[in-house]
Structure 1
């Protein structure tokens, strides 16, 4: 059969089968089991999937009402993932660790951190606001003399992104989703809606609705539909390292320089994001980055890391929304209202995947949000050039 003339029709085509896209597929079929859902994912090994190259952190420490609400739902969903998402044929393991998050700031930012904590507590989050002395008491290995305050959320934590991704994917397939191993190379649209996408194997997929969930690649996929989406791929590094002397268990520690690391087995996993890095699909590893950038920062904060040893470094991509560092979630209402975007999480895709997937499913099935109102994260703010007002440490 000549695949160039082959056109298959589905109710929904989800472009991108990573954690976010597979979450969309799962929640679509939970909400409407009768739907035909196709997920287009070019690489079933997920070799370059951003979430699988991350450290799997999940936190409530945001200030935007929508971000906090998405965190609260997603954290609960991930905590109970293994019991909810096992298939008839296979269990699922996400290895949830409730290790906590700790944001630390210098004195000049302590007042803002206190305001952030008040917002989080108002939405039901458990947050301890700690003075430098309290930080030292709770985390004795930490240097605190240049700090003004810290916010500790004990119920945050981290999980195995690979288990989460495959748990969503296998459950979506059990519910009826069809995964196609191909890459979207083109799109056909009429005056009012998206009609079909073309694949690199010569086939075409028509649908009533399309979802762009391609993460770091979402800006390029949006261009196929004639849509400007200010999302860029940015290389980041993750490192596994050990200290020279005892530090003990640490939560996920984050500071304003974007240093972020946590306990992992007998060592620690994390890095320091360079927000000014050249944009592009670059997976090369700079093996000097830990020594030149991360080590000085981590050794300053925890002197026991003065003799740190880096055992492994790997790279991955952030899908950075250049407008405001927050996701675009919603339909392109002004041009192609059946084209939905769920991308641009800027490092928070895994932690918000359950809530974002449910949100897109609600829009597609019901035409409106039914749980968390994510309208402020819609594409309209991109069209208006109005950043989402998130004051949390990103």
Structure 2
């Protein structure tokens, strides 16, 4: 009896197996396609191996068609029309995209740098990187209005390493950002030097300690005594100066760098879209435990809120009477600069329970820059920074200078950051007296023009926020660079690409710069003034 039942079960199993084998179209199985399986071919720079580069360009379309044809055969929606799927253009620049692998919010220097390094590492055309930028706020951004100074004189090792990398990149920016059949871009890098001054022994000792770390990291920084400073810069009065530190970096044109970076990104396949993010798209996480199904009231609502997953955004195109449209994405990067905190709030950061109750502490802070003409001032000066935060930069060879001030937290609280009108009292009350004391010929200086713009400032500790959100792991924060935005954006973009493709920070370890320190209330401090 038991043997006959076993034989009957075997016959049923055999019939099921044969029926499944006869319906192979019903049960279709295929190997999973990860990003690592995509085509990422050898890239030839302009002028490198012309014959191979020409053959690569002529044959690439056919290889791409073959790959997309095979992908369509494995796709339930495209299987009936694989030829139609393989031939259309991979990217349509005229339409708002409906999906992207990487969605970057913010098209300034930070967002464009992240897009550049991602596409440098992964050049497949089907790997879509989309940059959303608000054109109305672009003229107020820190990138457009930055003075473009670069210096490795910092107290944090990460800041020193990022400045050194950026300086080396800028020296060869013409080759890095060159486009085929075009002249190398010129970012007007001017190595005039960067001089910090210490007026008391406490600052001087701090400068010596920082100098040891900077030398250890490879920076070429020299400490100068007061007699040495007077000999090198005869038109400057160094009364009260205890020590000075100077290195061989200088200034560059941030607008030219951003223009070259954006043009390079477009040739790499990055799509720039003029739109503003209105909200984020969420779905319930599939791993929600069934044990919480019985919970009711606020506890269940809080659990549902914390188990959501970001799958895209609603973006409003900057067109007449346009409505917000969804853009699905695998990963979102908040690189909105001064407005990164507002974008994070649309995701729920700072307004929800638990971890969501902690806001992203990146805010827009007003900063003013004054263009001054001093006909009697020395013509060969480095960029100079005083302990009070007052700085001076020679705009071009001659007697025109850019001056401004890095504000302290106490001074920041007294500024109306919603009003971008230039406050000339800052120049006459806080900047001009110190400049006249340092360079007496500035007594006859005349203001030619001035502007005010926003800086992306981390109000928690002044150090950038770089890394994933503690709750939404596929949303990354890249902001809060402050007045170091221009000199650290390129290094931050490279670090993020390493984290994405290598799984860790390879060259510069920025793991401690994410939101965890904000949640734990463990601030970092950059002791090098300002």
For the criterion TM > 0.5, the same-fold answer is yes
- Which secondary structure state, in structure 1, belongs to the residue aligned with residue 245 of structure 2? strand
Deviations along 1:137-157, whole A, 9 cap, x unmatched? 111122212111110112x11
- Corresponding residue to 1:204 among 311, 323, 326: 326
Deviations 1:148-187 (A, max 9, x none): 1110112x11111111111111111110011111011111
Report runs of 4+ in structure 1 exceeding 4 Å deviation.
none
* Secondary structure of residue in 2 paired with 1:182: strand
Correspondence for 1:14: 104
* TM-score normalised by length of structure 1: 0.94
1:215: how far off?
Answer: 0.7
Residue by residue over 1:254-280, the C-alpha shift from the partner in whole angstroms, topping out at 9 and shown as x without a partner, is: 011101111112221121133323363
| More strand per residue | 1
Deviation at 1:244, TM superposition (A): 4.5
Using the TM superposition, give the Cα deviation of residue 248 of structure 1 relative to its aligned residue in structure 2, in angstroms. Answer: 2.4
Distance 1:279 1:205 in 2: 35
Q: Is structure 2 residue 506 aligned with structure 1 residue 347? A: no
Find the aligned partners of 2:128 and 2:329 in 1 and give their Cα distance: 9
Following the alignment from structure 1 to structure 2, what is the Cα–Cα distance between the partners of residues 189 and 63?
40
Matches within 5 A, 1:330-341: 330-332=467-469, 334-341=470-477
Q: Which residue of 1 aligns with 2:33?
A: none
Q: Which shows bigger deviation, 103-112 or 88-97?
A: 88-97
DSSP-derived class of the 2:473 partner = strand
Q: 1:268 aligns with which of 401, 425, 447?
A: 401
Partners of 1:271 and 1:280 in 2: CA distance: 16
Gaps of 5+ in 1: 1-5
Q: Structure 1 residues 371 and 82, CA, compared in 2 at 3 Å: closer, same or farther?
A: same
Question: Structure 1, residues 284-323: CA drift from partner, whole Å, max 9, x if none?
Answer: 1123432232211111111111111111111111111111
Cα distance, 1:94 vs. partner? 0.5
The residue aligned with 2:122 is: 32
Pairs within 5 Å for 1:1-394? 8-34=98-124, 35-43=127-135, 46-88=138-180, 90-91=182-183, 92-108=185-201, 109-154=203-248, 156-190=249-283, 191=307, 193-201=309-317, 202-227=324-349, 228-265=359-396, 266=398, 267-275=400-408, 276-277=411-412, 278=415, 280-332=417-469, 334-394=470-530
Q: Which has the higher contact order (CA 8 A, sep 6+)?
A: 1
1:45 to partner: Cα distance: 8.9
Structure ranking higher in helix proportion: 2
Does the 8 A contact of 1:55 with 1:270 survive in 2? Answer: no
Aligned 8 A contact 1:330 1:363 in 2: no
8 Å Cα contact 1:189-1:225 kept in structure 2 = no
Structure 1 pair 7–84 and aligned structure 2 pair: CA distance change class (3 A):
closer
CA RMSD of aligned residues (A): 1.7
Q: Is the 8 A contact 2:377 2:439 kept in 1?
A: no
2:424, 2:390 → 1: CA distance?
17
Shift of 1:223: 0.8
Any gaps of 5 or more consecutive residues in structure 2?
Answer: 1-95, 284-306, 318-323, 350-358
How far residue 192 of structure 1 moved from its aligned partner, in angstroms, is 5.1
Paired positions, count: 387
Using the size of structure 2 for normalisation, the TM-score is: 0.71
Report deviation, 1:106. Answer: 1.0
